[in-house]
Chains A and B, each alone.
Chain A
Amino acid sequence: MDKRKDLTVALAIALLGLTIVVLGTQINLGRIRDPIGSRALPIITGALILAGGLFLAGRRLIRWKVDPAVVPAEGTSDEPDVPASTTRSLVVWALCFAYVALLEAVGFLILTPFLVAILLWIMGVRRPVRLGLLTVGAVVVIFGVFDILLGVRLPLGPLDPYIGYIG
């Protein structure tokens, strides 16, 4: 684990804690009052996060010169001897997020094949036939199980007037 990243995460957490404290002080108390009130726990929780973040950052800074650049990992490690790419994970996440943002407008049947094909390609499935079969198979099976079998109204976007009656 890179100690600079660990420090950055700790400082980000401290900042989040501070934000929660500040927002906590602005909570409307309402008409029903109790000894603790609506603000106390958010402020205490935010303060705990702030203190924790500062403690972890301070601990890292105190040993900054003594510790090597890469310190023992406290999180889940990658598999040994296999290259790892943070970018790949973040791209996968960003694609999923974009999928969610566009799902209602574009619809499941149009958008999902693109998502599945791109994700599979990113994850190393490159043969066109295999890629196509897996993509079509995934969309058909999931649409069949959820929409037709379980009756879940998946968003269909522009296709809704034409096949919205299915399921």
Chain B
Amino acid sequence: MDLFLNTFGNATTMLGDPAVLLAIALGAILGSVAGAIPGMTTTLAVGIALPFTFGLRPITAVAFLVAITVGTNYGNSIPAILVGVPGTPSAVLTALDGYKLHQKGQSGVALGTQYIAALLGQLISAIFFVAMVVPLAQLLYVFLSPELWALQLLGIVAIISLTGKNVFKGLIAGALGLAVTMIGPDPVALTGRFTFGSVDLRGGLEIVPVVIGALAVSELIRSCRQVFDWRQTKATVDAKFPRWNLVRRTLRPIGIGTVWGTIMGAIPGGGGVSSAFVAYQQAKLTSKHPEEYGEGSVEGLAANESAQNASQSGEMVPTFGFGIPGSGSMVLLLAALTVHGLVPGPLLVKETPEMLYASTAGLIGGTIVLALVGWPLAKMMLRLVRLDRSVVLVMALLLSMVGVYALRNAVFDVGVMIFFGLVGYFMLRYGYSVAAFALAVTLGHDFEGYLRHGILLTDSSFGQFITRPVTAILVAMSIALLIFGIHGTVKEGRRARAAAAGLDDAAVPVMAGPQPGPEEPGERQTTVADLGGRVITEHDTGTSDEDHKDRGTHGST
């Protein structure tokens, strides 16, 4: 209880530090701006911002990055409501109900509901986050190498099993990530491996360039496949804040969304999309007006918004509690810690509780900043949808390259990042989970170290190693998750073949037109079929050709 209260006390004290407060304010606002740009996912935003944190104090860096994640989850819904284009896929359902409300002339109701639900969901889930992390961190005090190895195994298997369509491809991606960490000195004998006589490879590869390459640069290169602008809009906003009786109606779905968002987010690979879908379904099942869902329901909008924002706090539970990042953006957060000499892992909170305080400050401070500036920002962010996508992509690529160079003033690191950008591109294209790859890269070195030190600890007996109670339970859970993943892959394959045979016939409408990339690179993109729906054509919605006009340079190369 002491640590729980201390965490909030120290987080509040940190908010009094001008540098931390400034970083949080900047992070929240920049995150909102990035979130409002379609295609700019949380991972991409954190990946681009990461190099700017190298010169900061660790607590300021963590608070800044967490505030960015808070901001992106807030900003992604604004274009979803006003233009029908979700900033990230977790805002897909917002585009359903929010855009319908906007079309009915109730933009203020939609934006107000989104504002309240997003911020309440974020704030309450921050309390859940601390309440869940504190006991986990204390539990881990008794963990030794075998248990730590099993915990990392569980984290990697969870990401492999729960993201991507094909668990076998996920396994390969995880193994590739582990193989990358084997370049350089071995953790016990310190002999060089896979260095090919190169001086640059003798110390192994830096985690940050590999992870930014695989998660962010890959997505940017993939996005360069197509040249188009996001939907043009002539939308005007008459945003009056919703009245109290309407706000009161949203409290129940906000509660549902917050709980489900935190729980689903805490499962590695769960993510914002799954949280939003589950919360939406649950809110609909318990609603007095289920018929309104999908037709401009404030309840649906509130459930979805609170869930996707709460999932952000949820993702931080395994990240700080176990040292197992719950998503691509959390992998980058942990990678940032390594730059500052901190060891990402289950002992992080015990050894450096300041990181827990800083992340809590980032969550709470980011929410407060958005509560103050989020409402006026909403109208301004409408313009971001009109930004030239091509310019955004090129500038993001340049920033990533210069940013990674800044890490050690090493051009070699930029080359590593670009190389893994191409690797990640092919992984994205052919369904190999880049999230699993990046997670394995982040944890891989310790993964081997814990295994080998653990075997030494148990008198060189693998039997003793694996039968330690907690280790056995965690390994059993990993196997169960893997079986679950394989079962899912087989089912998905059958479903896809059935769909290809023309058996898939659904009927929930979803806006057509260019949609953003996946929430986490490697995560399956939410499609119309996932919603059980069919694409509404421009003809159906009455949208003119001009509204969808693409650039004249389509397919120009």
Query: In the docked arrangement, what's the CA distance between A32 and B453, Å?
Result: 13
B391, B393, B406, B460: which contacts A150 (Cβ < 8 A)?
Answer: B406
Chain B residues near A125: list those with CB within 8 A: 388, 390-391
Output the least CB separation between B501 and chain A (Å): 10
Given that A38-B188, A116-B398 are contacting pairs, would A72 and B500 also be in contact in the complex, using a CB cutoff of 8 Å? yes
Q: Please state if B164 and A74 are interface contacts (CB–CB under 8 Å).
A: yes
Cβ-defined contact, A93 with B422, below 8 A? yes
Q: When the two chains form their complex, are residues B179 and A80 in contact, meaning their CB atoms are under 8 A apart?
A: no
- Which among A17, A41, A120, A142 has the highest number of chain B CB atoms within 10 Å? A41
Judged by a CB distance under 8 angstroms, whether B26 is at the interface is no
Q: Tell me whether A109 is interfacial, beta carbon within 8 Å.
A: no
| Distance of A42 Cα from B462 Cα, bound (Å) | 18
* Stretch in contact with the other chain, from B327-335, B408-416, B467-475: B408-416
* Beta-carbon contact of A104 and B178 below 8 Å: no
| Residues of chain A contacted by B456 (CB below 8 angstroms) | 34-35
Least CB distance from A56 to B in Å reads 6
Q: Is the CB of A27 within 8 A of B172?
A: no
Among B484-509, those with CB < 8 Å from A are 496-497, 499-500
A55, B168: Cβ atoms closer than 8 Å: yes
Stretch of B6-14, B100-108, B117-125, B546-554 at the chain-chain interface: B546-554
Interface residues in B349-392 (C-beta closer than 8 Å to A): 388, 390-391
In the complex, are the beta carbons of B455 and A36 less than 8 A apart? Answer: yes
In the complex, which residues of chain A have a beta carbon less than 8 angstroms from the beta carbon of B398?
112, 115-116, 138, 142
A93/B425 contact (C-beta < 8 A), A49-B172, A85-B557, A153-B409 known: yes
- Would B555 and A41 count as touching, CB distance under 8 A? no
Q: How many residues of chain B are within 8 Å of chain A by beta carbon?
A: 87
Report if A92 contacts B (CB, 8 A): yes
| Complex CA–CA separation, A33 to B452 (angstroms) | 10
Which chain A residue shows the least CB distance to B229?
A124
Q: Is the CB of A27 within 8 A of B191?
A: yes
Binary A-proximity of B160-193 (CB < 8 A = 1, otherwise 0): 0000111011011001101100100010111111
Known: A72-B499, A134-B391, A142-B402. A89 touches B221 (CB 8 A): yes
Q: Which residue of B lies closest to A119 (CB)?
A: B394
CB-contacts of A63-84 with B (<8 A): 68, 71-84
Q: How far is the CA of A28 from the CA of B191 in the complex (A)?
A: 7
Given the complex of chains A and B, what is the CA–CA distance between A36 and B221 in angstroms?
A: 40
In the docked arrangement, what's the CA distance between A15 and B299, Å? 53
Give Cα A83–Cα B228 distance, bound, in whole angstroms.
Answer: 9
Q: How far is the CA of A52 from the CA of B518 in the complex (A)?
A: 25
The residue on A at minimum CB distance from B172 is: A52
Which residues of chain A are within 8 angstroms of B448 by Cβ–Cβ distance? 41
Q: Does A73 contact B431, Cβ atoms closer than 8 Å?
A: yes
Q: Do the beta carbons of A75 and B430 come within 8 Å of each other?
A: yes
Q: Which of A84-101 contact B (CB under 8 A)?
A: 84-89, 91-93, 96-97, 99-101
A20 contacts which of B171, B179, B452, B557 (Cβ < 8 Å)? B179
Interface string of B185-228 (1 = CB under 8 A from A): 01011111110000000000000000000000000011011111
Asked if A97 contacts B405 (CB within 8 A), the reply is: no
Q: Are B168 and A52 in contact (CB under 8 A)?
A: yes
**Would A126 and B553 be within 8 Å (CB), given that A36-B452, A48-B171, A88-B224 are in contact?**
yes
| Interface flag for A148 (CB, 8 Å) | no
CB-based contact A120/B391 at 8 Å? yes
- With the chains together, A81 CA to B537 CA distance in Å? 11
Q: Let me know if A100 and B179 touch, CB within 8 A.
A: no
Contact B221 A101 (CB under 8 A): no
Contact A52 B175 (CB under 8 A): yes
In chain B, what residue has the closest Cβ to A96? B418
Interface check B421, CB cutoff 8 A: yes
Q: B292-324: which have CB < 8 Å to A?
A: none
Q: Given that A34-B456, A74-B165, A103-B414 are known contacts, is A82 also in contact with B179, CB under 8 Å in the complex?
A: no
**Distance (whole angstroms) from the CB of A44 to the closest CB of chain B:** 9
A56 close to B55 (CB less than 8 A):
no
Which residues of B have CB within 8 Å of A61? none
> Is there contact, CB below 8 Å, between B224 and A92?
yes
Residues on A with C-beta less than 8 A from B128 are none
> What's the Cα separation between A83 and B557 when bound, in Å?
10
Query: B401 near A100 (CB under 8 angstroms)?
Result: yes
Chain B residues with CB under 8 A of A30: 186, 189-191
Establish whether residues A124 and B227, one from each chain, have CB atoms under 8 Å apart when the complex forms: yes
A residues in contact with B172, CB < 8 Å: 13, 48-49, 52-53, 56
* B557, A122: Cβ atoms closer than 8 Å: yes
Q: Which residues of B contact A23 (CB under 8 A)?
A: 194
Instruction: Please state if B189 and A42 are interface contacts (CB–CB under 8 Å).
Output: no
The 6 closest A-B pairs by CB, nearest first: A74-B431, A83-B555, A123-B390, A124-B553, A30-B191, A30-B189
- Taking Cβ atoms with an 8 Å cutoff, the residues of B that contact A are 52, 55, 164-166, 168-169, 171-172, 175-176, 178-179, 182, 186, 188-194, 221-222, 224-228, 388, 390-391, 393-395, 397-399, 401-402, 405-406, 409, 411, 414-415, 418-419, 421-422, 425-432, 448, 451-452, 455-456, 460, 462, 496-497, 499-500, 512-515, 517-518, 521-522, 525, 527, 535, 550-551, 553-557
Could you write out 14 A-B pairs with CB less than 8 Å apart? A35-B462, A36-B451, A36-B452, A45-B178, A52-B171, A73-B431, A76-B518, A85-B557, A92-B397, A97-B419, A104-B411, A108-B402, A123-B394, A138-B394
Could you tell me which A residues sit within 8 Å of B by CB distance? 1, 5-6, 9, 13, 16-17, 20, 23, 27-38, 41-42, 45-46, 48-49, 52-53, 55-56, 68, 71-89, 91-93, 96-97, 99-101, 103-104, 108, 112, 115-116, 119-120, 122-126, 134, 138, 142, 146, 150-155
Question: 6 new A-B pairs (CB below 8 Å) besides A36-B452, A68-B500?
Answer: A1-B431, A32-B188, A45-B178, A73-B431, A100-B418, A101-B415
